[in-house]
Amino acid sequence: MNVSKILKVILSVMMLLVLIVTGVLTYQWINGQGDDNSASKQVSQKMNENETDESQKDEADKTEEKNDDHQNKDESKDNAIRNEDGEKNTLYDEVEVQMDVIDEHNIHASYQYPLFHDDDINKVILQFIKEQKMLFEQESTRMEKANQISTHNINFKLDKLSENLYTLVFENTMNVSGANGYVQYKTWIIDNKNYNVFTFNDFIINEPKAHDILYKVISAEIKKDKDKDFYVDYPTLKDYIQNNQLKAYPKGEKIVFNFNEYDVAAGALGAFSLEVSTEKIKDSLTDEGKVILIDQDLTQLTDKQLAQIKVNTPEHIDVPKTEEDHPYTEAPSSEETQQENGTKNSEKPTSQVEDKGVQKTKKIALTFDDGPNGSTTPHVLEILDKFNAKATFYMIGSKVKYNQNIVRQVHERGHQIGNHTMNHPDLTTLGQSQIKQEFDETNDLIHQAIGEKPSTFRPPYGSTNASVNQVTDMKPVLWTIDTEDWKSHDPQAILEVVKANHQDGGIVLMHDIHQTTVESLVDVLTFLSNEGYEFVTVDEVK
């Protein structure tokens, strides 16, 4: 083999080796790039997963915050209106009864209504009260006559159907300057879990078939009563139902329908009510309506289902946020009250006010009307205890019903309890049977709470006559000093009235439903104590 052939073979082998090495390197480089791409994909995937996790976490946080808000509200409800021993002061923890009274020249008006621990629900209630007050003011101004009293009373009935589900019925009675008065009803169904306010019409299927079912059932029930049948105009009733104007609420296995004067009948019939079996009208109800009105169980409904119901909670209502509108503002502690009134803590022991040695040669009776109130009456009791003062509380029956434990506290602390009627009407405008009912219902509720009935009564507005006194054995008690605390809402003004009018054997009129009255008490009691007064009940003042 010559040299040239050998060189060619060597060169060929070398070139082959170069190709092999190049191929190997190229393969490794390609695989390396693939690994890098795979790693990149893994990093990208991991980042996406993290972003998803963060998004889910954000959603979870938002849900948790929302749940916390509801939980805080629920905890607020659970802790509300309890005494120092943790006992319930009210029938329903979620509710406090509020009362506004107007006692001016020829005007006697009282407004009772419940407030919940939710602004949306309260806005609906307060707007209704506000509108009725304005209407009464307009009518009484338009028809004002000399020596003619105009009266307006709004009372309510609140029943708990199930956990967080209530029926609320207002009875609105107006009588302007001796003209024929009227009674009107307003009914709502309250969802206190999701803070909604419904009417019966929200649960009716909006179709002619559903309206026909309701018409047939209601008209058949009316025809069972000859008086109702005579006065009711059935075509008007049919239009009334079709226009979704029914005022109704569930009561056990029945639906109660309320009709205002002139709604569907001649005025001679007046306002009237009737009950029908829920079973008879169930085919006129939506699925949500069946759950709420028949099953009475909110837990069966999803948020989406609740949202589909027409909700009567307004988004924008201009309601003044006053002390009277929002009684759930926590009353100040006695220490805060002392500081606001300029009394130093060192001057006032925690157990009882220091006796400065002033001889108690005179007697005076402090009286508190229109209670009890869950957020203010307990503070009044606390302050009275510190002065070793006894007082008399003239209680409204409808408020006694919802505040039984407070009634017991008043009694157990040695105070006297009097009857201030069931619904705070002007008794001189009522017949004797109505007057008797106002007294008897209140006495029965007080007896349920403390085991005894009152021996005295105070007529609302101080308005009484021989006809009123004839229906009861209770002694009427008025007052000699009217602090007008309901009018001024000013602690200093209340004190000045007492300073100017105090006298031995005097009876002071105040109201334990106003926070400003609570704030005035320390100064009022301090002044009277330094003047030599002993604080006694109305039975002891003479």
Residue pLDDT, tens place only, 82-100:
444 444 555 677 788 999 9
**463 and 405 part of one domain:** yes
**294 and 349 part of one domain:** no
Task: Please indicate, yes or no, if residue 322 is contained in any of the structural domains.
Answer: no
Q: Are strands 254-259 and 247-251 parallel, antiparallel or unpaired?
A: antiparallel
Instruction: Report residues of the chain scoring pLDDT below 70.
Output: 1-13, 16-91, 145-147, 178-180, 310-358
Q: Which H or E run includes 476? A: strand 475-476
Task: Please indicate, yes or no, if residue 324 is contained in any of the structural domains.
Answer: no
**406 and 462 part of one domain:** yes
**Cα dihedral 286/289/294/297 (nearest 10):** 130
The reported pLDDT for the residue numbered 403 is 92
The reported pLDDT for the residue numbered 163 is 87
Task: Please indicate, yes or no, if residue 89 is contained in any of the structural domains.
Answer: no
**144 and 292 part of one domain:** yes
**196 and 285 part of one domain:** yes
Task: Please indicate, yes or no, if residue 110 is contained in any of the structural domains.
Answer: yes
CATH of the domain at 460: 3.20.20.370
Task: Please indicate, yes or no, if residue 69 is contained in any of the structural domains.
Answer: no
**173 and 289 part of one domain:** yes
d(CA 371, CA 414): 17
**393 and 271 part of one domain:** no
**Active-site pick, 325, 369, 426, 512:** 369
**243 and 373 part of one domain:** no
**250 and 339 part of one domain:** no
Alpha-helical runs (H) found in 198-329: 208-222, 226-231, 234-242, 278-281, 287-289, 303-308
The total of other beta-carbon atoms located within 10 Å of residue 422's CB is: 22
Residue after which a domain boundary falls, among 293, 308, 323: 308
**143 and 257 part of one domain:** yes
The reported pLDDT for the residue numbered 308 is 73
- Domain span holding position 448: 334-536
d(CA 29, CA 350): 88
Task: Please indicate, yes or no, if residue 48 is contained in any of the structural domains.
Answer: no
Q: Which amino acid is at 93?
A: D
Q: What is the DSSP letter of 332?
A: P
Beta bridge partners of 377: none
The answer to whether residues 309 and 202 touch, using CB atoms and an 8 Å cutoff, is: yes
**Active-site pick, 485, 511, 512, 523:** 511
> Which of 510, 157, 191, 491 lies closest to 323 in space, CA to CA?
491
CA distances from 436 to 325, 370, 433, 468 (A): 32, 19, 5, 8
CATH of the domain at 156: 3.30.565.40
Count of structural domains, the chain: 2
The reported pLDDT for the residue numbered 471 is 96
d(CA 78, CA 92): 10
d(CA 364, CA 381): 17
The answer to whether residues 519 and 340 touch, using CB atoms and an 8 Å cutoff, is: yes
Task: Please indicate, yes or no, if residue 327 is contained in any of the structural domains.
Answer: no
d(CA 123, CA 121): 5
Handedness of CA 162, 397, 123, 247 (dihedral sign): positive
Contacts of 274 (CB under 8 A, 6+ apart): 218, 221, 222, 225, 228, 256, 257
Residue after which a domain boundary falls, among 273, 308, 343: 308
**121 and 260 part of one domain:** yes
The answer to whether residues 191 and 185 touch, using CB atoms and an 8 Å cutoff, is: no
Residue after which a domain boundary falls, among 308, 342, 357: 308
Is 511 catalytic? The answer is yes
**130 and 276 part of one domain:** yes
Q: Which H or E run includes 189? A: strand 182-191
Is 369 catalytic? The answer is yes
Task: Please indicate, yes or no, if residue 90 is contained in any of the structural domains.
Answer: no
Q: Strands of 96-163 (E only): list them.
A: 96-104, 107-115, 150-162
- Judge residue 351's burial from the number of C-beta atoms within 10 Å of its C-beta, 0-12 exposed, 13-18 middle, 19 or more buried: exposed
The answer to whether residues 403 and 410 touch, using CB atoms and an 8 Å cutoff, is: no
